[in-house]
Amino acid sequence: MRALQLVSDRNLKIVDMPEPEAPGAGEVMVEIGAVALNHIDVWGWRGMAFARRKLPLVVGAEAAGTVVEVGPGVEDLKPGQKVAIYGAQTCGECRACREGRDNLCENVGGIHGFHLDGFARERMVTKARLCVPVPDDVTMMDAACAPITFGTVQHMLFDNAKLEDGETVLVQAGGSGIGTAAIRMAKAVGATVITTVGSDEKAEKARALGAEHVINYNTERFEGVVRKLTKKRGVDVVFEHTGVDTWQGSLFSLKRGGRLVTCGSTTGITAEINLMQLFQQQYRIFGSFGCAIHNLSESLAKMDEGVLPVIDTAITLDRIEEGLARLESRKVFGKIVMTMG
C-alpha cells in the first residue's frame, strides 16, 4: 500500500509499505480517507522540534477514514463506519484517561505523525476506543478536521476558557486553520468575535465567517483597537496561538478576570509577563495541547449541525509539497486537506 514518508529533512516520498496485519483484540483496521495538514507537518518537513525523531516517518497527524475490519471484542464499530481518529496512543487506563482527560494521559505511547507513524497511508490498525464515529451527513474531508483543528478549539474555548453566549473573544490569526474554526465555533454559541489577520483579503474572508470586528495587524496595533472596541474594558477571552509577537498585546486586551488560552507559539517561545498585572487584573491563563477524545464527538456533532471547517484547498497525495508550501506561505485561509484516493 502507499504511504507518504518523511525520509530526511524536507524530503517527502510516496513509498510502498507492507499492509498492516489483521486487527487484534480491541483494534480496528481503518482505510484512511482524508488527512488534514497542520503546522506539525510543516515542522516535520523542516526537521524542527524533534529531539529524538526516528526517520523514516509516515506523516499526517489528523485524519478520518472508514473501518474495514474489526478485531475480537470490538462491538461498537462495524465495517463501513466512518470514523475520526484520535491522534495520540493513550493508555486508556491511567486516572487521566479514566476521567476523560486523555491529553493528560500518564503513559502516552506517542503522537501519530510526530513520534509514531502518521495517518498518510492507505490503511492502518489502531485501537477501537481511539476511533470516534462520524455522523452520516458529515463529509470525510470535514471529519478529517475534527481530531486536531476542531478538537483543539473545542477544548480551548469551552473546556478551558469556558466561553459563553454574550461574551467577547479575541481570536488571534483568524485566517489560520484553528483561527477559522475558533471564529465559527465562538459565533455558534453566541459570542462576539474580534479577530486579527495579516491582510485585507483575509479580513474580508474573516468577516464573511461572522467575525464582528477584524483587525489587520500589519496596519494597526490590535491591542489599541480592542481597547477602543470594548470601551476600554477588554475582552472576556483571548484565543492565542501565535506566541511572542502577540503575547503582551493579548494580555493587554483582556478585561479584569479575563481568560487567555494558548496552544501555540509560531512566532517564538519566550515572552515576558508582568506579574503585578497578572495578579492585580486576576487573569487566568491556560496552556492547552491537543484535546480529549470526547472533544472529537462534540466537534463532529457541531459539524453535523452545520458548523463546518473552512477548507482552503483540497489536494491529493501526490500534491503534498504544494500543500505544505501553501501552508508555510501563510496565504492559506483555513485548512488544507489531502485525500488519500
Provide the minimum distance between the beta carbon of 95 and Zn ion in the complex, in angstroms, as a whole number.
8
Distance CA 150, CA 185 (A): 9
The C-alpha cell that represents 33 in the structure block: 480517507
Of residues 265-304, those binding Zn ion (CB under 5 A): none
Provide the minimum distance between the beta carbon of 60 and Zn ion in the complex, in angstroms, as a whole number.
23
Pick the piece of the chain touching Zn ion (CB under 5 A) from 89-97, 120-128, 227-235, 324-332.
89-97
Question: Would you say 235 and 254 are in contact if contact means Cβ atoms under 8 Å apart?
Answer: yes
Query: Is residue 94 a contact point for Zn ion (CB under 5 A)?
Result: yes
Which residue, 97 or 336, is less far from Zn ion as judged by CB? 97
Which residue, 91 or 307, is less far from Zn ion as judged by CB? 91
Of 1, 116, 110, which Cα lies nearest the Cα of 56?
Answer: 116
The C-alpha cell that represents 236 in the structure block: 472576556
Pick the piece of the chain touching Zn ion (CB under 5 A) from 15-23, 42-50, 105-113, 328-336.
105-113
Query: Is residue 91 a contact point for Zn ion (CB under 5 A)?
Result: yes
Q: Would you call 50 exposed, middle or buried from its count of C-beta atoms within 10 A (0-12, 13-18, 19+)?
A: middle
Query: Is residue 310 a contact point for Zn ion (CB under 5 A)?
Result: no
How many residues contact Zn ion, by CB under 5 A? 5
Which residue, 90 or 192, is less far from Zn ion as judged by CB? 90
What number of residues does the chain have? 341
Which residue, 108 or 194, is less far from Zn ion as judged by CB? 108
Alpha helices in 35-112 (DSSP H): 39-46, 95-98
Question: Would you say 176 and 283 are in contact if contact means Cβ atoms under 8 Å apart?
Answer: no
Q: How far is CA 282 from CA 246, 276, 278, 279, in A?
A: 20, 9, 6, 5
Of 59, 56, 62, which Cα lies nearest the Cα of 42?
Answer: 59
Instruction: Please count the CA atoms within 13 angstroms of the CA of 43 that sit on its side-chain side.
Output: 16
Helices (H) and strands (E) in the chain, counts: 11, 16
Of residues 198-257, those binding Zn ion (CB under 5 A): none
Among 36, 97, 148, 225, binds Zn ion (CB under 5 A): 97
Neighbours of 139 (CB within 10 A): 17
Provide the minimum distance between the beta carbon of 124 and Zn ion in the complex, in angstroms, as a whole number.
21
Pick the piece of the chain touching Zn ion (CB under 5 A) from 12-20, 74-82, 99-107, 138-146.
99-107
Query: Is residue 105 a contact point for Zn ion (CB under 5 A)?
Result: yes
Provide the minimum distance between the beta carbon of 98 and Zn ion in the complex, in angstroms, as a whole number.
8
Pick the piece of the chain touching Zn ion (CB under 5 A) from 11-19, 83-91, 220-228, 291-299.
83-91
Provide the minimum distance between the beta carbon of 132 and Zn ion in the complex, in angstroms, as a whole number.
17
Question: Would you say 140 and 337 are in contact if contact means Cβ atoms under 8 Å apart?
Answer: no
- What residue ranges bind Zn ion (CB under 5 A)? 90-91, 94, 97, 105
